[in-house]
Structure 1
Amino acid sequence: MYAVEVERLTKIYGHGETAVTAIADASLQVKPGELVAILGPSGSGKTTLLTSIGLINEPTRGRVILDGTTIADDGWRKGLDLKRVRREKIGFIFQAHNLIPFLTALENVMVALEINGMARREARARATELLEALNLGHRLETYPAFLSGGEAQRVAIARALANRPKVILADEPTAALDTENGKNVMALLKKLAVEHRSAILVVTHDHRMVEGFDRIFDVRDGRIMGER
């Protein structure tokens, strides 16, 4: 089974003469354990594609299937609890780490688990385990303002992994990092994809950051131009 299946996905903003097609007839499939890049320049439609897969941006047409569940079929599937699917099946990593400033690194990961109904003691153990695995065991009680850019992004990755999602979506996760830290984050994502059997899709415009990816989809002017 594929973790992600996208069939002829199209997203159009506006109507009539002012309509803009952000993504057109995009199709892709990603298996569990794969690290896949969506590569293209700014304005090419790659973030629209990612947010449509992630139940943030409703597709105009096309089908999206996550972990065997059809979430969109010419629009959101009727009767589907989008918030629940997003919470249980998807982990997000953004360009800005978006950590809650008044919570410690540990608490930032715990909150994702507690929102999903996990008891506080269990959430603390799970969050600690993840942060230690990402070499942040010495930063558990540190607030975001005192973390380096690379450390903050690793906390964000731990938060994305907290609920063991089948799909992780990363939008320019290395844009705020220098080259060395950026490559370290990408290598970490590759390792996590294999270990957690998660399908990881990474949007990026930086050709330097896609070494070691399993596959790369090139996006131009709202269309997937090819796969390599």
Structure 2
Amino acid sequence: MYAIEVEKLTKIYGKGETAVTAIADASFQVKPGELVAILGPSGSGKTTLLTSIGLINEPTHGTVVIDGATVADEGWITGIDLKRLRREKLGFIFQHHNLIPFLTALENVMVALEINNLSGQEAKSRATELLESLNLGHRLNNYPTALSGGEAQRVAIARALANKPKVILADEPTAALDTENGKNVMSLLKSLAVENHSAILVVTHDHRMVEGFDRIFQVSDGRITGEENSDYNN
């Protein structure tokens, strides 16, 4: 079974003469354990594609299947609890870490667990384990302002992984990082895809950041224009 299936996904803003097609007829699949990049310049429709798959931006046409559940078919499927699916099936990593500034690194991860009704010592243990696995055990009680950019992004990754999602969606996760930290984050995502058997879809405009990816989809003007294997695929 694929973790992500997209068939002829299209997103159109506006109507008539003012209509703008942000994504047109996008079709692809991502397997569990696979790291896939959506690569293209700013304004090419990458983020719209990601948010449509992530159940945030309703597609105009096309089909979206997440972990075997059809969630969109010419629009959202009536009766599906999209919020619950986002909580239970999806993990998001954004361009900026978006950590809650008045919570520690540990508390930022625990919040994601508490939303899914895991609290107390169990949530604390799970959050601590995740942060330690990302070499942040010494930063558990630090607030975001005390973290480096790379550390804050790793906390955000821990938060995205907290509920063991089948699908992780990352929107320009290295844009705010220098090249070394950016490559470290991408390498970490590759390891997590394999270890957790999660499908990870990463939007980026930076060719330098796709070393080790399983596949790369090129996007231009709202269309997937090609697919390639990474030259650096291991």
Specify if TM > 0.5.
yes
Aligned to 1:222: 222
Aligned to 2:55: 55
Aligned to 2:136: 136
Looking at structure 1, the residues matched to 22 and 74 of structure 2 have their Cα atoms a distance apart, in angstroms, of 16
Aligned to 1:103: 103
Aligned to 1:15: 15
Aligned to 2:41: 41
| 1:93-125 C-alpha deviation (Å, 9 max, x unpaired) | 000000000000000000000010012211000
Matched AA of 2:186: M
- Equivalenced residues, count: 228
Looking at structure 2, the residues matched to 121 and 59 of structure 1 have their Cα atoms a distance apart, in angstroms, of 40
Matched AA of 2:19: A
Aligned to 2:156: 156
TM-score, normalization by structure 2? 0.97
Aligned to 2:178: 178
Aligned to 1:26: 26
SS of the equivalent of 2:36 reads strand
Structure 2: any 5+ residue segments left out of the alignment? 229-234
Looking at structure 2, the residues matched to 125 and 108 of structure 1 have their Cα atoms a distance apart, in angstroms, of 13
Looking at structure 2, the residues matched to 119 and 100 of structure 1 have their Cα atoms a distance apart, in angstroms, of 18
TM-score, normalization by structure 1? 1.00
How far 1:137 moved relative to its partner?
0.1
Looking at structure 2, the residues matched to 226 and 66 of structure 1 have their Cα atoms a distance apart, in angstroms, of 23
Looking at structure 2, the residues matched to 202 and 13 of structure 1 have their Cα atoms a distance apart, in angstroms, of 23
List aligned pairs for 1:86-101, cutoff 5 A: 86-101=86-101
The alignment yields a C-alpha RMSD, in angstroms, of 0.4
How far 1:4 moved relative to its partner?
0.2
SS of the equivalent of 1:192 reads helix
How far 1:2 moved relative to its partner?
0.2
Structure 1: any 5+ residue segments left out of the alignment? none
How far 1:51 moved relative to its partner?
0.3
| 1:158-194 C-alpha deviation (Å, 9 max, x unpaired) | 0000000000000000000000000000000000000
| 1:1-57 C-alpha deviation (Å, 9 max, x unpaired) | 000000000000000000000000000100000000000000000110000000010
Matched AA of 2:152: A
Looking at structure 1, the residues matched to 83 and 224 of structure 2 have their Cα atoms a distance apart, in angstroms, of 28
SS of the equivalent of 1:63 reads strand
SS of the equivalent of 1:112 reads helix
Looking at structure 2, the residues matched to 128 and 162 of structure 1 have their Cα atoms a distance apart, in angstroms, of 10
Looking at structure 2, the residues matched to 50 and 145 of structure 1 have their Cα atoms a distance apart, in angstroms, of 28
Matched AA of 2:16: G
Give the percent of matched residue pairs that are identical in Structure 1 and Structure 2: 83
